[in-house]
Chain A
Amino acid sequence: MTSGPASCDRIAEGAALSFAEARLFERAAAGEREALAEVWRANRRWLAAVAGAHAPAGVEVDDLLQEVAATLVAKCHHIRDTASLRGWLRVVAVNAARMAGRSKGIERRAVRVHALERAAAASGAGVGASPDDARETLALVSRLPALYAEPLLLQAAHGLTQRQIAELLDVPETTIETRLARARRMLRELVRELEGQVT
């Protein structure tokens, strides 16, 4: 297995793990460092999308991924059913984001970032002037309910199909279709609102 996007997509698919992937995970669960690193590389990009969707404002996705990677190394030997790996990793990422949100320090940073955005929007310059910046877009997406932000990021940032997202989140595909449409509509309104403030 390689760590390229193709392997990421393959491992992020809802289908059962292939024999090779299951064997790799068994080696990882046994504590083989190279196997653990490979499992991590194959999953980290879609996990970044999950973490980004659940991250409170002001929390770096890198920091959340560090938490997830550390948990994978420390606890993957507890995972008996290798097919449940992706679901478990997703829960770890969501919990890491929620824990980060409980930090008082994070709350203070979030307030500061929001204040900066408002100030820039008012002056027509800086971080709020245009939503082109990737971080600003992520900040906008993070204002959506996680229910909508997560499928949006999994599709837009990682290229998963509606069926793959539905299997990962364990909900019907029609529900994902509706959530994606609403997420994009909400994002459009936020961008429109931001652009309206600066013009």
Chain B
Amino acid sequence: MNDDGSNDARDTPGPAAKLDVLLARAVAGDPAALAEVRARGAHDATVLDELALWQADELRLGRMARELHAAADRVEVPRGLRSGSGRWSELGWAVAAVLAIAWTMQAFLPRGAVQQASVAGIAPAFTSSEDAFDAYVAKAREEGVLSGEVAPPTLLRSRELGDGRGFEVVIIRQVVERRVSPQIHRIAPSGESGARRTLIIRPRTDLVQ
């Protein structure tokens, strides 16, 4: 399918094109056009032959129309979605990414450190989340965990708050980390039922040797 052939408005229609326009109007149900085609057919039988063929095409198109209508009538608006919910669905992957990062951070934190902080109840002296983030970046660089530079934030959406306070800007901050893990997990289908299970993949020790 393409959109070419847009020279229709520039062409000067010849006699054949004029007859096509007349036939098109006739098969679409224009009685005046049909009468004119029949009048021409009295002098030129091929015009009537052509009309019959175009009418056969019209019948084919009619059958196709019923199929299209049936297809259209099968489709209803999706359930479970509300107007405006698309904005949140667009954010879904971002939320998932944040959750993944949070889970990763938890998973790789030394268990004792978490427990210790919880027991001691001492919060680090960060004055803002920005400070906390900067401290995290500095520490990650020191440990060799941060891979490359911190990517500039990606803008998801923005809107005016409407109360004169300014704009709400929603961004994603991304950091690329490099971690070393003794093993990784992979979710894979298993057996004929296709049930998914977790596979533990361990490094091949012979590569070390």
B: contact size bracket: 35 or more
Closest partner residue, chain B, to A32 (CB atom):
B83
CB-contacts of A131-180 with B (<8 A): 131-135, 137-138, 141-149, 152-153, 155-158, 172, 174-175, 177-180
Q: CA separation between A55 and B91, bound complex, in Å? A: 29
Q: Does B81 contact A (CB under 8 A)?
A: yes
Are B77 and A132 in touch, CB under 8 angstroms? no
0/1 interface trace, chain B 1-40, chain A, CB 8 Å (1 if under): 1111110110101000100110111011000000000000
Give Cα A49–Cα B76 distance, bound, in whole angstroms. 16
B25: nearest residue on chain A (CB-CB)?
A177
| Residues in A whose Cβ lies below 8 Å from that of B198 | none
- Tally A residues with Cβ within 8 Å of B: 70
Q: How far is the CA of A40 from the CA of B86 in the complex (A)?
A: 17
In the bound complex, residues from chain B placing their C-beta under 8 Å from that of A178 are: 8-9, 11, 13, 17, 21
Report chain B residues within 8 Å CB of A47: 72
B191 at the interface (CB under 8 A from A): no
CB of A151, distance to nearest CB on chain B (Å): 10
> How distant is the Cα of A188 from the Cα of B51 in the complex, in angstroms?
11
A sample of 20 more A-B contacts (CB under 8 A), given A40-B77, A45-B68, A61-B72, is A28-B83, A54-B1, A61-B68, A69-B76, A71-B86, A74-B83, A74-B89, A76-B83, A132-B60, A134-B67, A134-B68, A137-B60, A144-B1, A146-B3, A156-B62, A157-B65, A178-B17, A178-B21, A180-B24, A184-B23
Measured CB to CB, the residues of B under 8 A from A are: 1-6, 8-9, 11, 13, 17, 20-21, 23-25, 27-28, 53-54, 57-58, 60-69, 71-78, 81-86, 89
